[in-house]
């Protein structure tokens, strides 16, 4: 017997021929063989940089040296310029200040307003 030696008469073994003579089988029974369908977003969102009230209190001298604090009767801490996106309410801020930040939690807002500080947000 010469015909059909090895995998000859059945079109090859395994996944052989899926791009050629077994194309219709693949389209019907394994449509995701060459990859998924739909769109893929390659633009991942920028991670949110957040800081707590206690961290802000500890970093205050450093922020002052870098020029993110405007001195005055009520110091103005500009966290937006410092690259911070959100202010969280954990801890305490020991000084009265005006804080500029994009987002602030309700807990932080309550603590700051209770201590006499103000918060300016845009979101």
Residues 95-114: what's their mean pLDDT?
95
User: Average pLDDT of the chain?
Assistant: 92
User: What's the pLDDT at 123?
Assistant: 59
In a domain, 43, yes or no: no
Residue percentage of the chain with pLDDT more than 90: 76
Residues 22-51: what's their mean pLDDT?
91
For the chain, the domain total comes to 1
The DSSP secondary-structure symbol of 10 reads: G
Write out the two tokens for 76.
Answer: 């103005």
User: What's the pLDDT at 41?
Assistant: 84
Q: Is the CB of residue 81 less than 8 Å from the CB of residue 92?
A: no
In a domain, 74, yes or no: yes
In a domain, 78, yes or no: yes
Q: Please tell me the distance from the alpha carbon of residue 104 to that of residue 88, in angstroms, as a whole number.
A: 6
Q: What CATH number does the domain containing 102 carry? A: 3.100.10.10
Please tell me the pTM assigned to this model: 0.65
pLDDT: which is higher, 76 or 11: 76
Q: Are strands 98-100 and 69-70 parallel, antiparallel or unpaired?
A: unpaired
């Amino acid at each position: 017997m010469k015909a059909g030696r090895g995998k000859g008469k059945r079109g090859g073994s395994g996944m052989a021929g899926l791009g050629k003579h077994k194309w219709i089988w693949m389209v019907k029974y394994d449509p995701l063989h060459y990859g998924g369908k739909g769109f893929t977003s390659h633009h991942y969102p920028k991670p949110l940089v957040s800081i707590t009230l206690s961290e802000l209190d500890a970093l205050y001298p450093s922020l002052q040296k870098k020029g993110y604090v405007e001195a005055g009767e009520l110091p103005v801490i500009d966290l937006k310029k410092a690259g911070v996106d959100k202010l969280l309410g954990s801890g305490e801020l020991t000084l009265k200040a005006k804080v500029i930040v994009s987002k602030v939690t309700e807990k932080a807002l309550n603590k700051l307003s209770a201590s006499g500080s103000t918060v300016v947000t845009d979101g």
